Each structure stands twice: as C-alpha cells, then as structure tokens.
Structure 1
Amino acid sequence: MSLQYTAVGWNRQKRLYDTVLGCCAAGYLLVFTGVSAALHPSATLETLLIRGLGTLALLMLHVILCIGPLCRLDPRFLPLLYNRRHLGVSMFVTALAHGVFSLVQFHALGDVPPLVSLFVSNTRYDSLAQFPFQALGAVALGILFLMAATSHDFWLRNLSAPVWKRLHMAVYLAYALLIGHVVLGALQSEPSLLLSGFLAAGMALVVGLHLAAGFQERRIDAARGAAQAHGFVDVCDIKAIPEKRARIVSLAGERVAVFRHDGRVSAVSNVCQHQNGPLGEGRIIDGCITCPWHGYQYLPETGASPPPFTEKVPVFRTQVIGDRVLVHPQPLPGGGRSCDART
C-alpha cells in the first residue's frame, strides 16, 4: 500500500470548492438554528443542531443523487462531477455529526452502551406507528461510511471498477433507508408541512431526473443500434477527439482520421495525396486539415483541397449519437457533398 498510495491532491480549484461548501454549510446551520429558535423558543441547542444537521445532510444527498442524471442529460453539468466525491464525504461527515448528537441526547444516559441501546431500546418492527426509525438511520450511516472510506482512487484501483461501482450504488439503498428514517421518525412525531413538501419534491426530482436520463440513454442506444445496422461502426467517445485534431482509427483495413472541429465531426482517409503523410497527426488550421509533413490542406467536410488546388482525399460518413462517434467504413470519393456530422 505504501508504494501505490497517493495522497489526495488539493489543488486550488478543490480548495476553493471546499471553502465555499464549508461556508454554505455553516451558513445553512446558522440560519436554520436561528429561525428554528425563534419559532420554537423551548427547543434546546442540541435539538436544533440535530435537526439542522439532519436536514443539511439530506439536502446534500439529494444534490449528489441529481448530479449523475443531470450530466447524462446535458454535458454542461459535467464539471459538477469533478468534486462530487468531496461533496459525498462532506455529506457523510454532516450525517455523522447528526447521528452522534442524536446518540448522545437519546441513548447516552442509560446503563446500556449507546450503540446497543439504539438497537435494543425499541424492537417494535411490527408497528408502523412505533417503528424503530433510528435503526434505519444507523444502517444508512454505515453504508455512507463505507462509501466515504472508499472514495479515494486507491480503493477504485484495488477493489476494481466493477466492485467499487457496486459498492457505491448502495447509495440508493441508503437514500431509501433515510427516507424511511424521516417519514417514520420526524414526520410522525412532529408533522411538518414544510418538511413533507421538501421530502416529496426531493424524491420527485431525483426519480424524475433518473427516469429522464434513462429514457434518453435508451433512445440513444436505439439510434446507435439502428446506425450500426446500416453499417456504421462505433469508433470512440466524442471527448477522446481533441478540438481541431483527430483520432486515427482502423476501418476495413484502412486508417481513417476522425476530426472534431467547430461542433462537427469529419472523417477522411489518413493518407495525404502528396507523399502519403499522416493527416491524422496534423490539425485543422484556417478551417482546413493541414498535413504535418508538407502543409497540404483539405476541407474536412468534403476532403477536397481549397481552390485553386485540386488534390482530394476520400471521406467517410459520420454520425454522433449521444457521446459516441460512428463512422461508415465505406469511403466516398473526395470533393463531393459534406459527409460530416454535428456534435
């Protein structure tokens, strides 16, 4: 472990993110406790902190669960993924503080150890009205602990991606347990229209975004399947092609340069007509694919050299479905109509 372990690198962006997140969490707790103290003067500070930390953790969990489907629905949300693990660990720490305060306030003054008391003080699992909701929260907190403890890339590498993914998919089980914890606990002991509305809206948002992302991916999969049935070949992810540069792929024994430029994807033969230079190692300059050997240029849409030059390279039809680039392996003579696809 000592040879492979790499400490978390807090770059400037992450430090700024954590600072803003910490300030927002502190501000939320200050506002929550202040407003709650004004509305419920008899409530103790411990009670206010328990409620504030619990609602804050639940709010953060809803945000975490919305990030994934939002990124699948619109790539502009992808920057949110960069710090999602930091948000997840922060959410766990908040939930842990809520759990510790609750454990001390409700289970620390008896003869039985607090953790044991939490599970044995109420065993009415057969009663909906008196269900031991605290046990649901404790189990959910245990799941969140496992996720927070394995959030580093060290565990992703050593557990393997499939195992790590299955472990972190348990967040949905934790979410269901926490919903039960709130519904059977806070909403039964002290019904609140505000909390009920927040919970209903949050669940609807999470479920709605996941369904919308699922339907979109299903539609993309169907379109990709139809394209492949017509001979198109899935060659790469759109993000694997640098802007105004190419990714070289092999199709039907021929090397093809797939360029991304100005919201379009074009595919041309990788062989320059001058001295067989590798076009895919060049880049697009002034709107033209420029050979890295001698500077010969070709329009990416048609494969023809700009006038007055007459050189042409074969082009290939392209499609972009979701974030995947598909290319038809049958070349078309250069100089014809545009064969590129919009991203």
Structure 2
Amino acid sequence: MVLLVPIIGGVVALGLLVWCCVCRRKRSSDDEPTRPPDTSSLDTAAKSLGFLETLLTDDRVLIRRRFDIRDIQFERPLSKGAFGEVWLCTDRQNTMLAVKKLLQHKNDAYKEIKDFIAEIQLTASLDHPHIIRFLGVAWTSMDNLCMALEYLPTGDLLAFLRQNADMLTWVKDKLPMALGVAHALEYLHNRPTPIIHRDVKAKNVLLTEQLQTKLIDFGISRDRTQETMTAGVGTPYWSAPEVLEGNRYTEKSDIYSFGVLLSEIDSAATPYKDVRSPETGEPLRVWQIVSMIVGGSLRPTFSDACPQRIARVAKACLDGDPNVRPSANEVIEMLLGRAVSDQNW
C-alpha cells in the first residue's frame, strides 16, 4: 500500500527531466580529468593500462592480498550488471568465494578499469561485521582483474524477504536486519574521511546463514571529499529528493535510502510497486514517480503490522530536508528505542 497525494501538473515533468539530465552529465563528465587522451596509438593505450597497474602494485594492502588467479576455479555466474559480473568460485582448499570481474567492454575500458580499481581499494579498506569481507585481488593483466569476496549463499535481503514473508516478524527478524545495515552506515559515515554508499537498497544487502545483514556493492561509493559526489548514480526510487534534483550526495542521502530500505523490509517489496494514477488507474511511469518524490507528495508507506517506532524512524529518514534527517548513530538509537529526544521526528 502506498499513500498517493495529488500533485500539480507542472511538477510532473520535472523529475524525469532532472534525473535524465543529471545522468547524462554524470556519464559525460564524472572523473573526466583522469581519462587518457583520445588516441588510437596502441603505445599510448599500453602506457595508460600500465599506469592503472601501478595503482595496484603501489598499494601495499592489495599487494599483501594478491593471489594467483590460477588458484581459483570459476564455477557459475551469480549476478551480472552493466559493467561487471560476480562468479561463484572455489580455491584449492575447496573454499567458495564470490569473485567480481569486469565484462569485456571495448569502449571506455580505461575508465571502467580505473573505477573498478577504486572499488577494490575501497572495499579492501573496510573492516566491519555488517560489510562484505574482502578476501583478495588477482590479475595477470588489466583484462582479467578480479576481486574475491566472501560468499554468502543465503543471497540478497529482498529475495529472502519475499521467500519468507509469512514467517518473519519485526521484533525477532526484521529489526536485527535493519540494525545491521544502520551499523554499517554508521561505520562508513564516521570514518576519518566519511564514505557515502550512494546505493543503499535491499538488493545490495546480503545475508549470512545466521541472517546477519552485510552491505555490499561499493562500485559507486565515494569519500565525501571527492568532487564526483554529484547525482546520476544509484537507483531513482531509493534516491533522496535533493539527489534527484541534481545536488551533491551527503551522508543524509544514504539515510533517506535507508528509510526506503525499511519499507522494503516491512513489505518484502520494492517501493511504489502499487502506485497508480487516480484518474486512469494505470501504473505511473518512472518519471511521474520521480517527480512526486522530488515534490514531496510521495513516500513509501508501511503496513499495519509495522511497529510504530519503526514507522517513526522511517518518517524521520524520509524527510525532504536532509538537515532534519537523523544521523546513522541517531537512527540506531531510535530503532532501539533509546533516543533521548524525537526532536522533530
């Protein structure tokens, strides 16, 4: 069930236009200064890829965690995205690993490899029980660069919620899941240089066999000092209004996404799945939903079975003003019922 509030017609076209423009700007300009000159010279290309390899060989952490790619066996694909795929692999001790590698793209390979190296370096720097564990990195050339992560056979949170919706309760099951993600965000946001995940959603949370949640996919994460904290990444329905309007990401953008995640945990469904036009009864298009999110007339809602405390936390996280949203630390206190004051929440 989703609360649908009528909106003025002029706002309707705004959301998708903003989002598309920002995405286009993102694709065309993000990290542009770091790209090599556009040249057909094979020698220049080789030097560029050689520079990328020095990013790995000069990283002491990665060199210590480097393994021989011949020591793993690729068993079967687990998932595939626009630029990369994750495989189930086994090592010589028959330990199962999740190994991420890039797809073999012909266009803009330099940027894709550079971004993947940044993801590897960031993931390797993280150490928290509610964040996926980095195991190692392997390459013989930039064409076969891959990152090994712990394998969690239970799968992602959204699929688990859908398969077990009738058996899960908030107090026993769902609250610990939500707290795990909140603790992961607290860790990221309180590092000496805060990390913004930028794509918090149930599909990016995996579960251990003990149902402990672990945040994954740091491919578009950035530290707060970087100049690439513009919009155009992430997933629209989970993105904060200010991000959809083209403003920079902050920690509070992750908090908004966490509020949407709480609705996924409550309903075992993606947000706005049942939103329809009050005039035609037809499902709304993405740009219409984005417009309503930006305008503040649409937010995920929660079931009657959801505890009021959880609904209050979600409402605070989903506030249109990022300055009013709680921090990750405050979210944890609110989820546990230990918040000293609800302030404006």
TM-score range, shorter chain: under 0.3
TM-score (norm 1): 0.25
User: Which structure has the larger Rg?
Assistant: 1
Point out which structure has higher relative CO (alpha carbons under 8 A, 6+ apart): 2
Of Structure 1 and Structure 2, the greater helix share is in 1
